[in-house]
Amino acid sequence: MTRRMLASSAVVIGAAALAPFARAAEKMRKKVLAYNPNATPKPPYSPAVAYGSLVFVSGKASYAASDPKDIRVCTKYALDELAKELKNAGSSMDNVLKVQVFLRNIDDYAAMNEIFSATFVKEPPTRTTVAAIIPRDSLVEIDAIAFI
């Protein structure tokens, strides 16, 4: 009788001790973000999503760059757009962990790298680069995972 009471008390105390962690885990929800919330047409995705201290940024493509045919201009544009989105999320380019770079032409790799390495100077993020066909004939698209 006594042992059973002790055991059930231990379960109750144990559950109560863990309750704050359980509540913290239950409360974490994703948060959708956009530095330009009035973009039209409304896209079928969120420009950024934060979860805890991580932020996931949708790919920034280069079709709206001032010279969409110049890979350097396009890369700078995509990275500037990324920086705006990160800043809006309370993060920054210094906090980027992982980047994916999609190039229309794999031969643009060196030129893209010039701009990329001038942007991520100290402790650059991890990165994977591939060539692919990108929406709206873009020369480059870049997405990122960062921390806040």
Partner 1 sequence: MSNESTPLTREFFSAAQPSPNAHIYTPVVGFGQLLFLAGKTSAKAPDPADVRSCTTYVLDEIEKELIAAGSSMQQVVKVTVYLRHIEEWAAMNEAYVGRFGANPPARTTIAAILPHESRVEIEVIAHR
**Chain residues in the site for partner 1 (CB under 8 A):** 18, 21-22, 25, 28, 30, 32, 44-49, 51-52, 54, 56-59, 100, 102, 130, 132-135, 141, 143, 145
Give yes or no for a contact between 139 and 64, defined as CB atoms under 8 angstroms apart. no
Query: Which residues, in sequence order, are CB contacts of 33 under 8 Å at separation 6+?
Result: 46, 47, 48, 49, 50, 55, 85, 88, 89
Nearer to partner 1, 65 or 101 (CB): 101
Nearer to partner 1, 122 or 128 (CB): 128
Contact 55, 118 (CB under 8 A): no
Minimum distance of partner 1 from residue 28's CB (angstroms):
6
Shortest distance, CB of residue 113 to partner 1, whole angstroms?
19
Q: Which helix (H) or strand (E) holds 121?
A: none
99 vs 115 by CB, closer to partner 1: 99
Nearer to partner 1, 60 or 76 (CB): 60
Dihedral pair phi/psi, residue 81, rounded to 5°: -65, -40
What is the nearest approach in angstroms of partner 1 to the Cβ of residue 148?
13
Q: At what angle do helices 71-88 and 109-119 cross, to 10 degrees?
A: 40
CB of 110 to partner 1, least distance (A): 21
Of 114, 106, 96, nearest to 130 by C-alpha is 106
Cβ 3 to partner 1, closest distance in Å?
25
CB closer to partner 1 out of 45 and 118: 45
